[in-house]
Chains A and B, each alone.
Chain A
Amino acid sequence: MAKKTIDSLTARAMQRYVILALLYIVLIFVLPANSHAMQTYHLSGFEYRVLYLAVAVPSLVIWFVAFYGYARLQEYARVIKRAEEAPAFSQLARGCMWLAWSLPVSVLTAYVLDAIADQWSGFHAASVILANYTTLALPLIGFSIVGMASKELIGRMNTRLSPMNARGIMLFFVVGGVLYCYLTFRHLNPGSLGSAHNPYFLPIWLMLLTVIIPYLYAWFVGLLAAYEITTYSQQVRGVLYKQALRLLIGGLVAVIAGSILIQYVSSVDPSVGHFVLDYRLLLIVLFRIVTGIGFVLIAVGANRLKRIEEV
């Protein structure tokens, strides 16, 4: 009975993946082709859809490994449900689930909103704002949950952040944060705090309070969580346990890094509301691949840890 429940976690995640993947493919062929992109690249409606599908294929593969990865971690957490470390792994799995879901949800939301905005230009500003908030919200929740899990894990080791490492994280965060603010504020007009004439379609004060600060908070929580779970994997005992755990933790760090980088690029260089073949797209695909590799490592690590509990 328990085995059946555990197996169903992966089956359920895969079912959800299939639904989302089919939805994406159907939307690509059902929604009207973007007129601006067709003009720019001299494409017919069919050619546009085929090109879009080709660009979507890496995303579909990454969604698959992301859903598989979080499901395997959930299964491991379920197997050790009576163990002391179970609550932390359960939270890690939940955080990974949010990060995995953020991949298709942000893409599908932006695709639908862009299609509506293409048909009704008055909706363009709203579509960009909503797409930006979607890209922000789900990983923010994911990072917060992973952050709570890492606190729980590090708490079990009775260890603290060393002052040297704390300075390193702070320096890295400050440099990244200041660069992010500089790159974002280039698009804004500091002379008019209330003006929404910028690529984000938000007044500066609202942009600062609801986009920039939450992003910086999410990235700090993400970076700290990555550091804490790495420390846990270094200090925990058990030769074989550590080997498996390192894969899982390495995956988590890659997922956190990939998610932060996707958000960084999406926020610094906001979407223009239609498909553009440029360095931004290339970078986002690249960082999605990093995230995908992370989820593969999570799946392999979780499978190995689960195996230890089964023999």
Chain B
Amino acid sequence: MAAKDASDLYDKVIRVTHVYLGPTADRFIARQVEHHLHKAPEELTRADLSRLIDWIRIAMSLLTEDSEVIEEYAEQLHKLTRDNGKSKPATGRGA
């Protein structure tokens, strides 16, 4: 059950990320989880999200100077923690 929740959460994070990073979303999140949280992507838990979002914010700031996009992306990820993952991912500006 816990493994399924973790996998669901990971899929939701990927769906949100896909709006901003397209086909690279899966690889991007896997790298952040493995390198910064030192665990396998499928082991991602809700408790890890806050730290993951901080790392994603840093990574995104290396990719774009558009702070609105970064904040929107972070906000969508935060919703996954607040709403227990029930909210739908944003469509993204210009997506």
By a beta-carbon cutoff of 8 Å, the part of chain A in contact with chain B is: 80, 83-85, 236-243, 245, 304-305, 307-309, 311
Contact = CB atoms under 8 A, between A and B. Distances in A.
B18 A238 contact: yes
8 contacts: A238-B18, A238-B19, A238-B24, A239-B94, A242-B95, A245-B22, A308-B21, A308-B28
Interface residues of B, number: 21
A83 B28 CA distance: 12
Given A85-B23, A238-B23, 14 more contacts: A80-B24, A80-B27, A83-B23, A238-B21, A238-B95, A239-B19, A239-B93, A239-B94, A240-B63, A241-B21, A241-B24, A243-B64, A305-B24, A308-B21
A241 B27 contact: no
Q: Is the interface of B mostly helix, strand, loop or mixed?
A: helix
B6 interface: no
Contacts of B62: 307, 311
Contacts of A237: 18-19, 22-23, 92, 95
Contacts of A240: 20-22, 60, 63-64, 69
Contacts of A241: 20-24
B59 interface: yes
A147 B95 CA distance: 26
A311 B94 contact: no
A311 B62 CA distance: 8
Contacts of A84: 23
Contact of B20 (A80, A85, A239, A307): A239
Contacts of B21: 238, 240-241, 308
B63 A308 contact: yes
A311 B55 CA distance: 10
A239 B63 contact: no
A308 B28 CA distance: 7
A119 B18 CA distance: 63
Contacts of B23: 83-85, 236-238, 241
A205 to B, nearest CB: 48
Contacts of B25: 238
Nearest to B73: A239
